[in-house]
Amino acid sequence: MESIVIMAGGRGERFWPKSRAGKPKQFTDLTGKGSMLFLTYQRAAKMVDPDRIFVVTGQDYRDITRQNLPDLPEQNIIVEPEGRNTAPCIGLAAVILEHRFPGVTMVVVPADHLIKEEDLFVNTLKTAAELAGKTGGLVTLGIRPTRPETGYGYLRTGEEVPLGQGKAAYKVSSFVEKPDLQKAEQFLSEGGYLWNAGIFIWQVPVILNAFKNHLPDIYEGLLKIGASVGTPENMQVLADVYPSLQNISVDFGIMEKVDQVYTVPGEFSWDDVGSWRALERVFGTDINGNVLLGNVQALDSTNCIFDTCGRMVAAIGLEDLVVVETEDITFICPKDKTDRVRELIASLRSQKMEKYL
């Protein structure tokens, strides 16, 4: 049986003020069906037993993780002493898994993605796990693009790897950074490109070996941490070593450098909910192109996203705006400027307005 690692340490600043420092995006209930982390856990639990599910998160989110996932064994919450990038996060999970389930196949999923067809998702992961076992390579899920999305990275597919029953995986010939619209349209019309979903499958010894080859400094730190797992010194070693590990993504640090990388195309609908526009896809729009969540009165307004938490938002003559209301903050911003929320958050921080972060 595989083991699934849910990465739940993100700060979710892009979704401020719905996502807050004390309760980032992965802990929010976007769909009304439960927090994104809870939904991710539920999907994982369709594939493996709860003791095989691990959540990596930050010190500040240990309690909220337990509240979100009462069925998760407490020792399966892996706490990062401080937030790093995906490479250290995955390495940390790998050495802990190697201690608990030596040689296990590890599935890594972000905690803040939406996936509709859960059985299809689980089956795709199983296929990927088999492929990882058979090839001894690194496997990533690739999502068949349905629009010329400029917000995702892409995988360029190479040599086909038959999976039987007419299905196929591919070797990844290259990783492509977020394209501009023209390129994204080209990818869509050419074919041979998949969205990089950031969902990985590999055997733990394989990924640790990849760390050794391509991120040796991190690997050395991971060895120290790994040696302390299960001992009283673990917390101290983690606190000493982890913050010094290089801040680098697993894509950039490993995936792009390894030869044996495969992708299994996923046919389920997937959304990384990476920007407010994702709400248009998740909830659909009315005849005027508006997303209307909560108590909204919109007169003569088009292509806006309204997300309110109880009080009324009354709008007249608005276009292409995002309006998000939480208990204590109303956020208003044109759709094409929402990236600048980081500047706003930085400004609040410099004004010592922590309660609004």
Give bridge partners of residue 319 from the DSSP assignment.
302
Query: Under the criterion CB under 8 A, does residue 337 sit at the interface with its own copies?
Result: yes
Among 30, 77, 94, 321, binds its own copies (CB under 8 A): 321
* 22 neighbors 60 (Cβ within 8 angstroms): yes
Site for its own copies in 278-297 (CB under 8 A): 297
Beta carbon nearer to its own copies, 116 or 340 = 340
Query: Under the criterion CB under 8 A, does residue 22 sit at the interface with its own copies?
Result: no
Query: Under the criterion CB under 8 A, does residue 315 sit at the interface with its own copies?
Result: yes
Distance CA 30, CA 273 (A): 10
Beta carbon nearer to its own copies, 227 or 348 = 348
Burial environment of residue 189 by CB neighbours within 10 A (0 to 12, 13 to 18, 19 or more): exposed
Among 17, 88, 253, 265, binds its own copies (CB under 8 A): 17
Name the one range near its own copies by CB under 8 A: 19-27, 44-52, 276-284, 334-342: 334-342
- 260 Cβ contact list (under 8 Å, min separation 6): 135, 136, 137, 138
- 67 Cβ contact list (under 8 Å, min separation 6): none
Please, what is the angle between helix 216-228 and helix 234-241, to 10°? Answer: 160
The tokens describing 4, both together, are: 């699934």
DSSP 8-state code for residue 48: S
Query: Under the criterion CB under 8 A, does residue 334 sit at the interface with its own copies?
Result: yes
Query: Under the criterion CB under 8 A, does residue 338 sit at the interface with its own copies?
Result: yes
> For residue 197, how far is the Cα from the chain centroid?
8
Among 220, 246, 314, 354, binds its own copies (CB under 8 A): 314
Provide, rounded to whole angstroms, the least separation between the CB of residue 283 and its own copies. Answer: 20
Count of Cβ atoms closer than 10 Å to residue 217 Cβ: 12
Provide, rounded to whole angstroms, the least separation between the CB of residue 324 and its own copies. Answer: 9
The tokens describing 134, both together, are: 């058979």
Beta carbon nearer to its own copies, 268 or 356 = 356
3-class SS of residue 61 = helix
> CA nearest 280: which of 270, 267, 292, 295?
292
Among 333, 349, 350, 354, binds its own copies (CB under 8 A): 333
* Residue span 226-245 as binding mask against its own copies, x where in contact by CB under 8 A, dash where not: --------------------
Among 67, 312, 349, 354, binds its own copies (CB under 8 A): 312
Provide, rounded to whole angstroms, the least separation between the CB of residue 255 and its own copies. Answer: 34
- 246 Cβ contact list (under 8 Å, min separation 6): 87, 88, 215, 217, 218, 253
* 28 neighbors 37 (Cβ within 8 angstroms): no
Name the one range near its own copies by CB under 8 A: 46-54, 128-136, 201-209, 328-336: 328-336
Among 49, 160, 328, 354, binds its own copies (CB under 8 A): 328
- 32 Cβ contact list (under 8 Å, min separation 6): none
Among 21, 168, 344, 357, binds its own copies (CB under 8 A): 344
Among 75, 150, 236, 347, binds its own copies (CB under 8 A): 347
* 156 neighbors 279 (Cβ within 8 angstroms): no
Provide, rounded to whole angstroms, the least separation between the CB of residue 317 and its own copies. Answer: 4
Distance CA 274, CA 290 (A): 18
Query: Under the criterion CB under 8 A, does residue 299 sit at the interface with its own copies?
Result: yes
Beta carbon nearer to its own copies, 1 or 314 = 314
Among 343, 349, 352, 354, binds its own copies (CB under 8 A): 343
> CA nearest 43: which of 124, 101, 97?
124
Residues that bind its own copies (CB under 8 A): 17, 297, 299-300, 308, 311-318, 321, 323, 325, 327-334, 337-338, 340-341, 343-344, 347-348, 356
